[in-house]
Amino acid sequence: MTNPLLAPWVTPFGIAPFDLISDEDFAPALDVALAAHVAEIDAIATSQEAPDFANTVEALEMAGQDLDKVLSVFFTVAGADSNPVREELQREFSPKLAAHFSEISANTALFARVGAVWDQRDALDLSEEQARVLMLTHRGFVRSGAALEGADEDRMKEIKSRLAVLGTQFTQNLLADERSWFMELGNDDLAGLPEFVVASARAAGEEKGADGPVVTLSRSLIVPFLQFSSRRDLREKAYVAWGARGANGGETDNRAVAAETLALREERAKLLGFENFARFKLDTEMAKTPDAVRRLLKDVWEPAKAQANADAWVLTQMMQADGVNGALQPWDWRYYAEKRRKDLHDLDEAELKPYFQLDRMIEASFSCASRLFGLQFKPLDVPLYHEDCRAWEVTRNGEHVAVFIGDYFARGSKRSGAWCSAMRAQAKFPQVQSPVVMNVCNFAKAEPALLSYYDARTLFHEFGHALHQMLSNVTYESVSGTSVARDFVELPSQLYEHWLDVPEVLSEFAVHAETGQPIARALLDKVLGASTYDMGFSTVEYVASAMVDLEFHDGAAPADPMARQAEILAAMGMPAAISMRHATPQFAHVFSGDGYSSGYYSYMWSEVMDADAFAAFEEAGGAFDSERAKALEEHILSTGGSRDAAELYVAFRGRLPGVEALLKGRGLAA
């Protein structure tokens, strides 16, 4: 019987046939796909034809299509619906894949052909996109160590293999800690919790097999618990468990994993001729240097810290008025900040939350995409990997554009956080292929499914990434969609968050779950008026994480990352009642792979642009200005990485932005 992962996918729009695929199919399919890819690479490297763009660079673009199919399905289910078999396969696959791609990057005959094409680039009459693909291909080989020889080449292979193992281990350790801990709540433990939190806790209890409601370490449940629970002892217990993920000792402890990862990254960078890993990583980003990142973070840090310290004084007075003496603690901040928000803005999250129904927020994100870019969304009835998943066909003017899949609810088999991925990226070469794009979130599952305002922003954020994938219109997959500089990739996602705050969007889609009434203008004004509330806190916890990430990599790798983390935070003057958004043992952005390593700052780098980009709409005809939407698609969403990121932004806006719009948008401007 043919392995369904390798057989032609005779399904609507070529979606993976999840109903036919079993865990037993992955290992044999991977072996076949790897062997096929090796043969394709060898054919390119040993070709007797003189190297040119078609037989070398385009041939590399065509190679590995079966491997892409296998890995797209495997990593989808491994991240969003894991089980012991998939976790074991992930541990087995990681070093195997690292070795496979190391062999390709170290293939001297192949690199010689790429180098020959690169050397004759000015005489090849390439299109702008082809020239970009050639540059990226050549640069990728160099940065992977293709020019290394002898012992250095062998050591680079060892480093890559070990880093792949460590990244998988870090992710699985974190998932194990998040999955294993929960706190059961008796009737007396529900004090202060609004019904929507209780409903989410009951749903979590059912999933855990408990007799009643529980608090888990899912952000969508633990954050509202910390906001509303009047039981300070339980808030402390939950917060300590949340902060201890990856640092509980034993087999799932991530501290040694982080230390070894940092040391290997430093060694890798030095093998490639860079002073440290931050300089290696940032060399290809918009920021270019650690000093440029540091300037941005410090420009934002000082006003944010000043605001946070002022807020901490107020919250401490509130706490002491409740008869609690001593210093404000991290498990107190959200509770008293929520009370203060209710006082300042007469805004109660329990009153607000029924207006943010998941289904209506999905509709809102679709509606904005329709008004801006002419997209339409039609539900698809196709087999997917979990019963919680939903799919839509995306069209424009009756023409198929993409398939969009949404997987929105938290569960024990899903890693934490939210992400967007393309199971198939858009391309026109070697044949036209439309994208299959996924958004994965971790919202609390209840009936009806209600989101916090933060959750709704997360939904819009990930859908902004999805639009970047779906509206891509390039020839080569290697520069398709979100294949852009890391500090540019968050621009479309963070920009799209702004449309959630457009009053006419909220008026139409923020509808009460029980009464069906649209959100009242007075409540809407409160929501928008409170949009920058507690921004000192959220900015401080983010910038602290970004600065720790940068300093970890811009210098000698610390033998004890936790001690170095403490040093960095002390030097910054970190407010005592606020913790990093992601402490080192749970910093998956940085340690589960190289994606955001030395690059967590990129959310803020992109926010400088997204604040300025949305201002362009406001300066024109408003949030749905057709000319600005057309320019956004033409210069940013459709172009992927086919041109330099700064060049694309200037083409859209006419100039690069400063930090002023960001500070104003966060309510931190002087």
Residues designated catalytic: 462
- Class of residue 343 by CB neighbours under 10 A (exposed 0-12, middle 13-18, buried 19+): exposed
The CA–CA distances, whole Å, from 421 to 34, 463, 583 equal 22, 11, 25
- Class of residue 289 by CB neighbours under 10 A (exposed 0-12, middle 13-18, buried 19+): middle
CA 375/CA 619 separation, integer angstroms: 24
CA 172/CA 440 separation, integer angstroms: 18
Q: Which of 557, 586, 544 is nearest to 261 (CA)?
A: 557
Q: Which of 386, 415, 486, 80 is nearest to 218 (CA)?
A: 415
CA 589/CA 165 separation, integer angstroms: 16
Residue 670 is classified by DSSP as -
Phi, psi of 550, deg, nearest 5? -65, -50
Cis amide prior to 430 (ω within 30 degrees): yes
H or E element in which residue 121 lies:
none
Structure tokens at 173: 């350790």
DSSP string, 266-328: HHHHHHTT-SSHHHHHHTTSSS-SHHHHHHHHHHHHHHHHHHHHHHHHHHHHHHHHTT--S--
Which residues neighbour 328 within 8 Å (Cβ) at sequence distance 6 or greater?
312, 315, 316, 319, 336, 576, 577
H or E element in which residue 128 lies:
helix 128-144
The CA–CA distances, whole Å, from 2 to 70, 71, 384 equal 14, 17, 20
Do the Cβ atoms of 194 and 228 come closer than 8 Å? yes
CA 363/CA 351 separation, integer angstroms: 21
Phi, psi of 183, deg, nearest 5? -120, 120
